Structure 1
Amino acid sequence: MRQHRTMAGLLGALLLLAAGLSSTGATTAAAASRAPRPLGRIVPAPASVAPGGSPYTITSTTAIRVDAATGAEGRRIAGYLADVLRPSTGYALPVRADGSGGIRLRLSGDARLGEEGYRLESGRSAITVTAHRPAGLFHAVQTLRQLLPASVERRTRQPGPWQVAGGTITDTPRYAYRGAMLDVSRHFFTPAQVERYIDQLALYKVNRLHLHLSDDQGWRIAIDSWPRLATYGGRTQVGGGKGGYYTKADYRRIVRYAASRYLEVVPEIDTPGHTNAALASYASLNCDGVAPPLYTGTDVGFSSLCVPKEVTYAFLDDVVRELSALTPGRYIHIGGDEAHSTPHTDYVAFMDKAQAVVAKYGKTVMGWHQLTGARPVAGAVAQYWGTAGDEAEVVAAAKAGTRLVMSPANRAYLDMKYDATTKLGLDWAGLVDVDRSYAWDPSTFIKGLPSGSVLGVEAPLWSETLTTSADVEYMAFPRLPGIAEIGWSPASTHSWPDYRSRLAEQGPRLAALGVNFYRSPVVPWE
């Protein structure tokens, strides 16, 4: 009996000890979850991080302060930051032009920060963000968001605390062009859906939105001088359905919204192939004068504008003129891929005339890398989508001065399946999980490229199998942040083990934002 009581006492002591250890562990875990995120644990990785000093805590007395020199753009960015922070913190966060402390946005004459770079300094009394241009302030705001707990992205009040670790981040992008393409032709996406995608791109410092506005399955932009392009050519999509198109007001809305997030819209009218929607809309664009039926399948390479006809260039001139007037950005993308039904001599002749039309309206021509098999004009930009990296004509064009945007399909195409079980997407370029999508260098992917020939990177998302924003998000995330990092961060920071852990920390943030992302098994999601 005595031994039984002794054993019972011992068991009780052990239970109390276990409870104490459990409580201590829970307390430690809770404390860790409240600790500020270390500087540099963001995507894309910053160029330079110098941690140190006390963290800054956002409280009910915090104000967002804008130097007078930042002007209206600075005040707008401050308002954007306040709109992000107010719902989750519950704080007023007034935007002011005076005083000290709080979160301060300022422009300086430090040209070393360039058009998009910034410096973020965090300490006990203030966070000071400095940039040379407003775009840098905006990118710094995206960094600040990621330095705060993921719950800051929620639209209802959260418990906090809202701390930013002490230290300094100095950050400038590796490449000037960091893009994402959305195919709105195979399936149509509304202006609101495009704006949702823009917001997601902005978080990762993407600065170009390439809109694939025409293809065999649909023409998506109103052209006043050729109205049937949109009203007839835009009335369907892959698999049937009503399709749709952007009025000029819709397109201007998208352009304005993108500009408010410091993204430049790059519109694409794919020519001379991928043109069945246009050919179906106007019989005169066909060599035989007979309009084909609208197309809802997914084959490629069967359509072509009629290169010898003068009406072809009247059509192209009108389209480029109206699209250029709507587009403040510098680029017009004329496509040029998979023109299998256009004889090579016709292709070269067409591209000569198409490039001249783009130049006539003051824009820089972009085209898929097949443009390098023709005669790229001075200043032309070719978008590489190959998989082998051994295309001699691309290297020759680069040596002659053509700049390249890198989008290798077996790395950067966001519509490739993650694995054999992925229900959405295609697999012609292979299966591309997150690690494979991250494991490449734009400057060395094509063998023999001269130094400085890469303008940047782009992550295209083709929509043959995508019909909703949830579909778009599932295929884009989490691969798009990796392409964004390849474009922004110094090559020396690219490390899959480090990126993998930083990407895992993005999971709660994407969830808080309501992004339907793929939880890849190669990432240890938080």
Structure 2
Amino acid sequence: MRLRLAVLLACALPLTAAAAPAPVTPVIALGSVIPAPVQVHQSGPGFRITDRTVIIAPPRARDVADRLGEALRLRVAGHSSGRTGNIALELSRAITEPEGYRLTVNRSGITVRAASNAGLFNGVQTLQQLVPLTGPRTVAGGEIVDHPRFGYRGTMLDLARHFHTPAEVKRHIDEISKFKVNYLHLHLSDDQGWRIQIDSWPRLTTVGGGPGTGVDGVGPGYLTKADYRDLVRYAASRYVTIVPEIDMPGHVNAAQVAYPELTCDGVAPPPRTDTAVGYSSLCIGHENTYGFVEDVIRELAAMTPGPYIHIGGDEAHATTAADYLTFQKRVLPLVAKYGKTAYGWNEIAAAPEARTAVAQYWGLTTTNATLAAAVANGTRVIMSPANLAYIDQKYDPSTPLGLSWAGYIEVRKAYDWDPHTHVAGVPESAVLGVEAPLWSETLRDLDDIEFMAFPRLAGIAELGWSPSRDWESYRTRLGAYGPRWTARGVDFYRSPQIDWS
């Protein structure tokens, strides 16, 4: 009888015991963000964001505050009510780095201080990564002091091989700005299509951006000037600067289809929708060529507030070496004539006129004597080595999208290199920054863009921002970031090198 009673009591215990406590959402460590901050001091109690929390900001920083308020679903006020429990954005002369910020968290509130709105925006990106996706929105106590390693932290999107709509480009801007990427290079012309309206040469878009253009003939479309200006404004509101590129003297077949007078014999070439390169060239000896080039540069410069106009210059295999130098001698100064800094692929370094230009290194080797000589003469460099930074390359042989001519680029390979020391003869002082180009030969929609860009772009953004790299730390932080992409519907590549949360 006693044994039966004991058994009955034992069976009843699970029914009468107190319910198990709900799991506690862990507070995210201050240093667990991407890109890694310069200094992190975690200490003291944190701050819990509630529905009563208010974002306080001066009128000059209202755009940053409004964006944070939208992200966190909080009210924004123009001045402090005097009570604690706020998130304060402050412009401060004590911060000396233009894009730097100081993020302070204690039980009374959160303060982001910066010298400029760009710095506040960067601090806000860090803060958003510290707010848990679920459960109590408690931010760990302490302080982050942060600023970028390079002033130029970019990516490129190819609209020429396949046109991507303004809505797709805007969505991409939203994502890249979360990692403090501050330049978006748009590749606007190539053999397969011309994607930007030029009033003085209207057939560039009506023909070069019309039906049947793009790789396989499935990528038609172009940006009107209104579209382009709207993208520039949208990017600027996320502290991203647009860099437009018109590739020349090669990669010009689409322009020559539209305007046969840009060829040496006046005969229009057939449209091209394949992926071959190196077969087209502007006619270097014709004065009409330079009228065309100047018109394009003038109109682009007029609608581009950013400092750079990219003039391409790569893979000009159909242009002789002498003609190439003649072309650059005429064209590089035209960019300065219209108030911009000339920017081109590293082949432009062969021209003496490139001493005031920026050369984008895309080579596969760590030595380039021509580039090193140009740097010694004043040329500055953006690092984009194709075998490390080209995020259109496949992750591995099974990747359904992308190319592989520069090799497979898994997540660690894209992260584990140093832009400052990559090319012999190019010292740290000559490197302006780093860029991850995304070519569109195999891309068709936003999901394709996101799959190839993420997570690799996050790592290259860290190379551009953080003072040093640590793969084990990065792979842990990247794995923890995965649910944020999932929550936003980003179709990212789930690399087997990462333990995704």
Q: TM-score range by the shorter chain?
A: over 0.9
Partner residue in 1 for 2:454: 477
1:80 aligns with 2:67: yes
When residues 300 and 53 of structure 1 are mapped into structure 2, their CA distance, relative to the original with a 3 A threshold, is same
| Aligned match for 1:298, one of 269, 275, 296 | 275
1:521 aligns with 2:496: yes
Q: Distance in 1 between matches of 2:294 and 2:380?
A: 24
- Contact kept in structure 1, 2:162 and 2:219, CA below 8 Å: no
Partner residue in 2 for 1:178: 153
Partner residue in 1 for 2:480: 505
Partner residue in 2 for 1:371: 348
Q: Distance in 1 between matches of 2:44 and 2:157?
A: 43
Partner residue in 1 for 2:54: 63
Q: Tell me whether 134-143 or 445-454 shows the greater mean CA deviation.
A: 445-454
SS in 1 for 2:102: strand
Partner residue in 1 for 2:78: 96
Q: Give the C-alpha shift of residue 93 in structure 1.
A: 2.1
Q: Give the C-alpha shift of residue 450 in structure 1.
A: 2.3
- Contact kept in structure 2, 1:178 and 1:207, CA below 8 Å: yes
Partner residue in 1 for 2:308: 331
Partner residue in 2 for 1:225: 200
| Aligned match for 1:216, one of 170, 173, 191 | 191
- Contact kept in structure 2, 1:399 and 1:450, CA below 8 Å: no
| Aligned match for 1:234, one of 209, 233, 239 | 209
Q: Give the C-alpha shift of residue 11 in structure 1.
A: 13
Unaligned runs of 5+ in 2: none
Whichever residue aligns with residue 85 of structure 1, its letter is L
Partner residue in 2 for 1:154: none
Partner residue in 2 for 1:105: 89
Partner residue in 2 for 1:131: 114
When residues 35 and 240 of structure 1 are mapped into structure 2, their CA distance, relative to the original with a 3 A threshold, is same
Q: Give the C-alpha shift of residue 59 in structure 1.
A: 1.1
Q: Tell me whether 442-451 or 467-476 shows the greater mean CA deviation.
A: 442-451
Q: Distance in 2 between matches of 1:35 and 1:53?
A: 15
Whichever residue aligns with residue 186 of structure 2, its letter is L
Q: Distance in 2 between matches of 1:131 and 1:181?
A: 28
- Contact kept in structure 1, 2:191 and 2:272, CA below 8 Å: yes
SS in 2 for 1:239: helix
Q: Could you list the per-position Cα deviations for residues 446-498 of structure 1 after superposition, in whole angstroms to 9, with x for gaps in the alignment?
A: 1232231110000100000000000000000000000000000002xx11111
| Aligned match for 1:268, one of 235, 242, 245 | 245
SS in 2 for 1:519: coil
How much identity, in percent, do the aligned residues show? Answer: 55
Partner residue in 2 for 1:155: none
Q: Distance in 2 between matches of 1:397 and 1:66?
A: 46
SS in 2 for 1:271: coil
Q: Could you list the per-position Cα deviations for residues 339-395 of structure 1 after superposition, in whole angstroms to 9, with x for gaps in the alignment?
A: 000000000110111101101101000000111122243321000011111111111
Q: Could you list the per-position Cα deviations for residues 422-452 of structure 1 after superposition, in whole angstroms to 9, with x for gaps in the alignment?
A: 0100001111100111010001111232231
SS in 1 for 2:316: coil
TM-score calculated relative to the size of structure 1: 0.91
Q: Give the C-alpha shift of residue 242 in structure 1.
A: 5.5
Q: Distance in 2 between matches of 1:266 and 1:256?
A: 13
When residues 353 and 121 of structure 1 are mapped into structure 2, their CA distance, relative to the original with a 3 A threshold, is same
- Contact kept in structure 2, 1:266 and 1:332, CA below 8 Å: yes
1:246 aligns with 2:246: no
Q: Distance in 1 between matches of 2:156 and 2:64?
A: 25
When residues 278 and 165 of structure 1 are mapped into structure 2, their CA distance, relative to the original with a 3 A threshold, is same
- Contact kept in structure 2, 1:222 and 1:247, CA below 8 Å: yes
Whichever residue aligns with residue 46 of structure 2, its letter is P
Q: Could you list the per-position Cα deviations for residues 50-101 of structure 1 after superposition, in whole angstroms to 9, with x for gaps in the alignment?
A: 111111111122111113xxx33x0111111111111xxxxx5232312243
Q: Distance in 1 between matches of 2:219 and 2:57?
A: 47
| Aligned match for 1:141, one of 110, 124, 127 | 124
| Aligned match for 1:49, one of 36, 40, 43 | 40
- Contact kept in structure 2, 1:331 and 1:366, CA below 8 Å: yes
- Contact kept in structure 2, 1:376 and 1:402, CA below 8 Å: no
- Contact kept in structure 2, 1:63 and 1:96, CA below 8 Å: no
| Aligned match for 1:189, one of 164, 170, 174 | 164
Q: Distance in 2 between matches of 1:470 and 1:58?
A: 33
Partner residue in 2 for 1:40: 31
Whichever residue aligns with residue 270 of structure 1, its letter is D
- Contact kept in structure 2, 1:405 and 1:456, CA below 8 Å: yes
- Contact kept in structure 2, 1:79 and 1:95, CA below 8 Å: no
SS in 2 for 1:377: helix
Partner residue in 1 for 2:233: 256
SS in 1 for 2:246: strand
TM-score calculated relative to the size of structure 2: 0.95
SS in 1 for 2:429: coil
Equivalent pairs counted in the alignment come to 496
Q: Give the C-alpha shift of residue 16 in structure 1.
A: 7.6
Q: Give the C-alpha shift of residue 161 in structure 1.
A: 1.0
Q: Distance in 2 between matches of 1:410 and 1:456?
A: 17
Whichever residue aligns with residue 499 of structure 2, its letter is P
Q: Could you list the per-position Cα deviations for residues 262-281 of structure 1 after superposition, in whole angstroms to 9, with x for gaps in the alignment?
A: 01100000000000010111
Whichever residue aligns with residue 279 of structure 1, its letter is Q
Unaligned runs of 5+ in 1: 87-91, 152-159
Q: Distance in 2 between matches of 1:447 and 1:252?
A: 39
Partner residue in 1 for 2:137: 162
Q: Tell me whether 334-343 or 399-408 shows the greater mean CA deviation.
A: 399-408
Partner residue in 2 for 1:456: 433
> What RMSD in Å do the two structures reach over aligned CA positions?
2.1
